Homo-oligomer: A and B are copies of this chain.
Amino acid sequence: MQNFKIIIEYDGSAYHGWQRQPTDRTIQGEIESTLMTMTENRVTLIGSGRTDAGVHAFGQVANFRCNTSLGAEVFQNGLNSLLPEDVVVTSCEAVPEKFHAQYDVKSKTYHYRILNRRLPDAIFRRYAWHIRKKLDLNAMRNALYYIVGRHDFKAFEGSGSPRTSTVRCVMNADFVETDNGYLVLKIEGDGFLKFMVRNIVGTLVDAGLGKITLNDFKRILASKDRNLAGITAPAHGLFLMEVKY
């Protein structure tokens, strides 16, 4: 039995998220059926976690175990020639059999891209949330720093997600300004609740628009009440950048 770890880059625009579904196209579903073609066996792909419909990834990680004589390079090349062009396996390596892409996660880093200027971007419109009104980056950054550390993030959790605890640790978080009006939230945590990054972004944007104060933001986090937080930011601004083990 061999165990392979793969790193996957994908454009989530055309997919109903990571997790395999009976009818809709998903990333896990596409890769599993390609692996079945290659190995002539049913292979289960274990992802580091789900990404929602429309979310992109530069560094999603997954592993699969199978009884095969094929090597890592053959798997990588085979997957890349058979997968649709919006899914690319950027790395494939043989790992010890006990490696588990979900249970062994140490941290995940997400980026959320906002385009903050009057004009939309025709060419990269699928990869950022366009907000016309000028955001106060300082206010957003100050609010953001409240979430760094170990907190109960229940106020920022989407409904209907299975989990035992809503406490998570955010190790790093920052907002950076890049060219042409793009703002990028970079956030690293030991785990994220359903919609957590997008709900944090929606609430930070309220702070950036002056709809809530820094104190309001602090109170929302402490309240553990989803109804007090802002909207769920759109999926297409979110990128899973890196998973550490």
Interface residues of A (CB under 8 A from B): 9-11, 56, 58, 80, 85-88, 90, 119-123, 125, 127
Contact = CB atoms under 8 A, between A and B. Distances in A.
Nearest to A91: B119
A242 to B, nearest CB: 15
Nearest to A83: B122
A9 B80 contact: no
Nearest to A10: B122
A185 B52 CA distance: 37
Contact of A119 (B11, B86, B90, B122): B90
A232 to B, nearest CB: 20
19 contacts: A9-B121, A9-B122, A9-B123, A10-B122, A10-B123, A11-B123, A11-B125, A56-B123, A58-B123, A80-B120, A85-B122, A86-B122, A86-B123, A88-B119, A88-B120, A88-B121, A88-B122, A90-B119, A123-B127
Nearest to A85: B125
A7 B88 CA distance: 35
A100 to B, nearest CB: 25
Contacts of A88: 119-122
Nearest to A89: B119
Nearest to A90: B119
A87 B122 CA distance: 5
A40 B86 CA distance: 42
Contact of A86 (B10, B56, B125): B125
A11 B85 CA distance: 18
A56 to B, nearest CB: 6
A119 B80 contact: yes
Nearest to A76: B119
Contacts of A86: 122-123, 125
